[in-house]
């Protein structure tokens, strides 16, 4: 649920984190997860959050989705405070989480069934989205008959098909091999370009962050705070298969690593 408040931020801000803190537990057993986090996710842009394990990256997604309430500060979606489950965002998790008893086509159709979309329309839209990610001919395959990369494609288009305002990605490619990851990076950026999507993406991988992002949020170790907000200088479109050769890549990686290494390498 979203409740309007008197926030009057710029219209190009899709998500805003304003002094957001979250503690797990209460009293002397309270454990701070994130502390006074501030950053914006701009409409039509890809924002990535990187940081060491346990710094609260996934917590940020859960806050944006309204799955947990903030202990302090506020999360705003299109200028409205997130209070309760935010059904206007999509959430792609680390696991594909496909229904094993449904085919690829039926899995992709499922969100449209929940929204009351007529059968003919949802079938046409599902076929079209599966075609966009190269899965024509696999519509009637069950998840167990699909490779890991194919399952992830189905998971992504199942989320994108109902055209959420913002899509949240929680390390969706972490378990895949390098070649499959690059292919999915390419396909994801093609979908982003076609649909003008807004994405908030979580990863541990600096190369992945540079490949996909317009801006990168670098978090400190727990309790997670924003250490640096970095604007990626690489031009678009990007050749994800040879990202190391893109002008500005070396400089971007070096700049990110300077901020990141102190959070993961003992001093």
- Average pLDDT over all residues of the chain: 90
pLDDT of residue 196: 87
With a cut of 60, say whether residue 246 has pLDDT above it.
yes
Closest CA to 200 of 27, 1, 76, 58: 58
Query: What integer is the mean pLDDT of 171-185?
Result: 89
CA–CA separation, 127 vs 201, rounded Å?
26
Fold classified for 2-88+165-264: Rossmann fold (3.40.50)
CA distances for 89 relative to 21, 65, 224, angstroms = 21, 6, 23
pLDDT of residue 265: 64
Confidence of residue 5 (pLDDT cuts 50, 70, 90): very low
pLDDT of residue 267: 54
Q: Hey, where are the domains in the chain?
A: 2-88+165-264
pTM of the entire structure? 0.90
Q: What is the pLDDT of residues 211-242, one digit of tens each?
A: 999 999 999 999 999 999 999 999 999 999 99
H helix intervals, the chain = 57-64, 104-114, 119-132, 148-160, 178-195, 206-212, 249-264
Q: What is the pLDDT of residues 62-76, one digit of tens each?
A: 999 999 999 999 999
pLDDT of residue 4: 37
Q: Do 34 and 60 contact (CB within 8 A), yes or no?
A: yes
259: alpha, beta or left? (left if phi > 0; alpha if psi -120 to 50) = alpha
CA–CA separation, 223 vs 245, rounded Å?
36
pLDDT of residue 65: 96
Please give the full DSSP string across 195-236, using - where no structure is assigned: HT--EEEE-S-HHHHHHH-SEEEEEPSSSB-EEEEEE----S
The DSSP letter of residue 88 is T
With a cut of 60, say whether residue 153 has pLDDT above it.
yes
Q: Do 190 and 183 contact (CB within 8 A), yes or no?
A: no
């Amino acid at each position: 649920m979203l409740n309007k408040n008197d926030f009057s931020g710029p219209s190009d801000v899709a998500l805003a984190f304003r002094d957001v803190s979250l503690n797990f537990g209460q009293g002397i057993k309270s454990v701070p997860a994130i502390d006074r986090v501030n950053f914006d996710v701009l409409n039509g842009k890809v924002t990535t959050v990187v940081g060491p394990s346990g710094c609260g990256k996934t917590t940020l997604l859960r806050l944006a989705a309204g799955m947990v309430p903030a202990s302090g500060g506020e999360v705003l979606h299109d200028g409205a405070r997130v209070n309760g489950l935010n059904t206007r965002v999509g959430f792609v998790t680390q696991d594909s989480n496909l229904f094993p008893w449904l085919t690829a086509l039926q899995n992709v159709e499922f969100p449209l069934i929940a929204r009351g979309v007529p059968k003919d329309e949802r079938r046409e839209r599902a076929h079209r989205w599966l075609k966009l990610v190269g899965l024509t001919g696999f519509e009637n395959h069950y998840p167990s008959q699909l490779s890991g990369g194919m399952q992830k494609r189905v998971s992504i288009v199942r989320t994108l098909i109902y055209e959420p305002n913002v899509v949240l990605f929680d390390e969706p490619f972490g378990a895949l091999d390098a070649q499959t990851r690059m292919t999915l990076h390419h396909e994801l950026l093609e979908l982003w370009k076609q649909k003008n999507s807004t994405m908030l993406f979580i990863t541990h991988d600096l190369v992945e962050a540079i490949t996909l992002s317009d801006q990168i949020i670098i978090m400190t170790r727990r309790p997670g705070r924003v250490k640096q907000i970095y604007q990626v200088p690489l031009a678009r479109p990007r050749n994800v298969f040879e990202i190391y050769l893109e002008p500005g890549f070396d400089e971007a990686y070096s700049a990110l690593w300077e901020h990141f290494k102190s959070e993961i390498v003992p001093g």
